[in-house]
Structure 1
Amino acid sequence: MADTQEPRAPGAGRPATAGPRLLLNAEPFGFGPAAAVALLAAELAPDCGRIAYIGEGHTLDLQSRPPYHAIHDTTGLTEDERLARLRKLAPRYDLFVTAMDSGMAALARRAGMELAIYDALTWYWPALPAVAYEAAPYIAQDFFGVRERVAADAALRERAVVVPPVIPPGRDWTAGRHVLVNLGGLDNPLWRPDDAVAYARLMLAAVRAGLPAGRPVIAVTNRGIAAALADPAVGTYDHGTMLELMSTAAYACMTSGLGNIYDAATTGVPTLWLPGANDSHTRQVLLLSEHGYCDARLDWEDIGLPVDHTAPPAAVMREISGAVRRLAGEQRLRERLAEELAGLTAGLGGTPGKARALTDRFGHGGMRPAAAAILRQVERNTENP
């Protein structure tokens, strides 16, 4: 996507429009941050004089104009080039808002920008990045252990706002004929793009192998992986369409990013969680299972390819990459994967998924209080420059 240019208004290059001016961003790791910031943008836009996006790679798949006035593509830029771009943009904006991209957040601070951070994984980080303590607000999406972590950290507690999941209210699940295969969240810098494509191809083939004849499959992933698969059943969809596909599926087989988990909660779709594609996936599914919110899950060890998900992220991704390559190279393992998937999904579809109850525990509609916290901070900064 080409970088779009913003009009300059008289006086220090500031736009003449009234209202808060926000520059949004999302971490290029998985699909969750990009999806969350797109929802935040839609919520914030009516109250903003200017709202723009800056980011790279597959995060651009879910960003569009409107609600953005401009989109700045930083794909392939060096750190110095990204810093220069932020310094050029900084005078035009009141706040830099990122979904979990601590690297870009640190560059935004170096560029002199005030900072807000939305974090879906407060429950997970062994240690929060230092830049989290420079954000006001630090917006933590609720999940197991989030409120306890915030309460125990005095420095974080001063600037933190805990919000419900960034999902709309629950809808009725009306089981249709199609099986949804949601392969969101595969792209991340800790493994090779061709390993992500191989994972998608292998999981889609295994789901199909276990389906009755004539049962249609609709598969979802980002644009790059969809293009590599070149499969007419595979596409990239906006969040509203995704929720419709989930709520009308017979059942779903999905990667277990927290965004997918909460989408399963709001749609009620019965779900089998696929083997982890990064270090947080399996930990999240284990939490679901421990608390009774999991319909079915398949781990790498279930097909004879154990992965140590307690290892550091880079080590976990090396093991997952190795598992994907072995799976691709051994027909016996692919047959075992298909058999396990068929067995685990045979009982799905009769009743709404157990993840539905997560909305009772953690709520929904988190984009509204998140947006309100961001707008309040801009107002405070304006009153106390």
Structure 2
Amino acid sequence: MGENLDLTYRNGTDKDNHAMPTIEPINIVCNAQPFGGGPGATLMAVMPYLRNRLKSLGPVALHYVGSSLTMDFQKLTKADWDGSHHIDLYSNPDIGKKELISLLQRLKPRLVVTSMDELVAAAAQSAGIPVVIIDLLLWFWPSISPHWRQAEMVIAAEFYGVQERIISENMDNVVTVPPLGPPPRTTVGPSKDILLNFGGMVNPLMPKEEYIAYARLIYSAAKRALNLRNAALPKSQHANLIVLVASLDVARGIDPEDPEAARMVLPDEALELMASVELVCCTAGLGNLYAAGAVANAVLLLPPLHEGHAIQTLLVKKAGVPVDAVEWHEITGGTPINYYNGSLEIMDDVSKAQNEVISSVQAQKALADRLLAAMLHSAAPSAQGPPLRKLITTFGQDNGDAMAARIVDVLTKVR
């Protein structure tokens, strides 16, 4: 709905046609960390259920604060926020914090809800505003931020290691909910098409050129593999390549010669495509893992862009979930990356591996051959059930209402 800083609500007029007193709304500020697509997509799923649950509390205004990819999500989905505020705490943290504090002083929100953004949580807590943190990666953090411990509530999505982390860290302000995702379903006799789903690759610590180069590299290899696949199979089994992204930068940069090569779609359309194609090749973000677990017919996980992708894949494999995943050292022939090193060291190692593939015809061929093998495997009849479905049977799935209910619990307590 665009920015609207002076919202008021009126209940009508009295019998003498005099205006009733203006009722100021309860303001709630929502935010998503601009690392990948998961945090922003989570808020988009929770928001309509939150609105519905807040009706009983009187007039409430939901404001969104974010930057980068998370704002792209708002534009794409035409999100129904009462106020939308572009504030960037990452490119210039000092200026961003001042802008956020100024906004909070103006809105005087009763609650700040952030999807994993420590900088926003810190700013809100410094202003004395209660904070709820939605955390999709509680199992992952090398150490638990003090801002998590100071939060009114941490809502943690279930995954391998979450319960163990809560116990080991003695976190008494954490509640767990099933991960977000669609109801399990697959299409019988799916189309022969191949879906390349990059999801949200944007990361403020990673230069834009890096993730665009990644998308171009994988896209070029997938096109080469698709041509080889189609040449090896009867015409009745020929497939098309569908490419989905969650970033305008990637959509524009993936193929300079073809501006229509990739497209951004709404989450529901992405799920329909994932369910309908023969093979989904995707990055290993948790959102992609749970979506693929619910709807995909066959899956190939692409080389990791950061340690989150890699460690999530390792945990899934360790749990005995059958997943086909590509690693950089398979393509380069080099030493496997240690994804338990520091984040900056890992990103540097990934960048080096990626640049090695980009500069090597032999490595590019190896990547295309790896994609081809997955395509040919998915084209052959198989009695194996949908991959990654064990994620759903283990942790369940929620549409966003469980998180919304917990947020309202906190608001009821602090109002």
- Tell me the residue number matched to 1:46: 52
CA contact (8 A) 1:51 1:70 kept: yes
CA distance in 2, matches of 1:118, 1:369: 11
Q: Does 1:71 align with 2:96?
A: no
Specify which of 166, 175, 184 is matched with residue 150 of structure 1: 166
- Structure 1 unmatched ranges of 5 or more: none
Q: Does 1:252 align with 2:260?
A: no
- Tell me the residue number matched to 2:378: 348
CA distance in 2, matches of 1:35, 1:66: 11
- Tell me the residue number matched to 1:374: 407
Q: Secondary structure at the match of 1:93?
A: coil
Q: Secondary structure at the match of 1:34?
A: helix
CA distance in 2, matches of 1:117, 1:82: 19
Q: TM-score, normalised by structure 2?
A: 0.85
Any residues of structure 2 matched to 1:10-29 within 5 Å, and which? 16=23, 18=25, 20-29=26-35
Q: Does 1:235 align with 2:249?
A: no
Task: Note closer, same or farther for the CA distance 1:8–1:21 as it changes in structure 2 (3 Å cut).
Answer: closer
Number of aligned residues = 374
- The alpha-carbon deviation at position 8 of structure 1 amounts to 4.4
CA distance in 1, matches of 2:243, 2:99: 36
- The alpha-carbon deviation at position 101 of structure 1 amounts to 0.9
1:141-183 CA deviation, whole Å, 9 max, x = no partner?
10001112112332x1x21110100113222334223211111
CA distance in 1, matches of 2:327, 2:69: 26
Any residues of structure 2 matched to 1:53-132 within 5 Å, and which? 53-63=64-74, 64-75=77-88, 78-90=92-104, 91-132=107-148
Task: Note closer, same or farther for the CA distance 1:277–1:357 as it changes in structure 2 (3 Å cut).
Answer: same
Aligned residue type for 2:49? E
Tell which deviates more after alignment, 308-317 or 284-293.
284-293
CA contact (8 A) 1:164 1:362 kept: yes
Q: Secondary structure at the match of 1:50?
A: strand
Q: TM-score, normalised by structure 1?
A: 0.91
CA contact (8 A) 1:197 1:229 kept: yes
CA contact (8 A) 2:44 2:79 kept: no
Identity %: 28
- Tell me the residue number matched to 1:219: 243
Specify which of 20, 34, 39 is matched with residue 33 of structure 1: 39
Specify which of 220, 244, 265 is matched with residue 205 of structure 1: 220
Q: Does 1:334 align with 2:364?
A: yes
- The alpha-carbon deviation at position 77 of structure 1 amounts to 6.5
Q: Does 1:310 align with 2:326?
A: no
CA distance in 2, matches of 1:233, 1:40: 31
- Structure 2 unmatched ranges of 5 or more: 10-21, 55-59, 231-237
1:6-47 CA deviation, whole Å, 9 max, x = no partner?
22449xxxx9465x5321111111111111111112221223
Q: CA-atom RMSD, angstroms?
A: 2.1
Q: Secondary structure at the match of 1:97?
A: strand
- Tell me the residue number matched to 1:182: 197
- Tell me the residue number matched to 1:138: 154
